[in-house]
């Protein structure tokens, strides 16, 4: 399985690198790969969020007995594990391939960074949707943009750091 992930990461990296030359005077290869693979994962997350919110949760409040979850937060919690998994694999096997940290350590660190991002997502969606009354999907896009900046810095300096 690891070989498949490495090979897939190399193929994806090579495809991204094909489009890199016009941008090389503006961005490092690593930053370009982060941007492209991250944007692909974010786009996937947004589409998944839209589908889950509109067609699975159907814009309905979800009663869990003790607590009732609003539809936009329910969609967040359903989509989160999927985009978490795809994001980790893209960062590990496409963007930050030079890191010598063990995969287990990377996953633990990645989980910590994503945990902070989840908190930012939760609080951001609560603020934008419930206080400022902005539609859920655009709110998710705004919050995701804030998380992307935070994530790049933390992934490079902490999760996948190179000694």
Predicted local confidence at residue 5, as pLDDT: 93
What is the tally of structural domains in the chain? 1
Question: What residue ranges in the chain does DSSP mark as E strands?
Answer: 62-63, 68-69
Residues 6+ apart with CB under 8 A from 37: 12, 16, 90, 91, 94, 95
Predicted confidence (pLDDT) per residue in 112-143, tens digit: 998 998 899 899 999 999 999 999 989 988 99
Predicted confidence (pLDDT) per residue in 36-91, tens digit: 999 999 899 999 999 999 999 999 999 999 999 999 999 999 998 999 899 999 99
CA–CA gap between residue 33 and residue 98 (Å, rounded)? 13
Predicted local confidence at residue 114, as pLDDT: 86
Q: Phi and psi dihedrals of 28, rounded to 5?
A: -70, 160
Predicted confidence (pLDDT) per residue in 139-152, tens digit: 988 998 888 888 88
Looking up tokens 């992930």 gives: 5
Domain housing 115? 2-159
Predicted local confidence at residue 110, as pLDDT: 95
The verdict on pTM exceeding 0.85 is: no
């Amino acid at each position: 399985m690891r070989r498949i992930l490495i090979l897939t990461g190399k193929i994806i990296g090579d495809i991204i690198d094909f489009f890199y030359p016009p941008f090389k005077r503006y961005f490092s290869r690593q930053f370009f790969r982060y941007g492209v693979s991250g944007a692909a994962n974010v786009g996937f997350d947004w589409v998944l969020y839209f589908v889950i919110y509109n067609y699975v949760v159907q814009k309905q409040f979800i009663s869990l007995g003790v607590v009732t979850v609003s539809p936009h937060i329910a969609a967040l919690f359903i989509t989160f594990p999927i985009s978490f998994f795809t994001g980790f694999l893209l960062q590990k096997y496409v963007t930050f391939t030079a890191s010598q940290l063990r995969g287990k350590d990377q996953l633990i660190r990645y989980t910590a960074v994503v945990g902070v991002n989840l908190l930012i997502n939760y609080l951001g969606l609560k603020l934008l949707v419930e206080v400022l009354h902005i539609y859920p999907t655009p709110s998710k896009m705004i919050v995701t943009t804030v998380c992307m900046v935070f994530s790049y810095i933390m992934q490079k300096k902490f999760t996948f750091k190179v000694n």
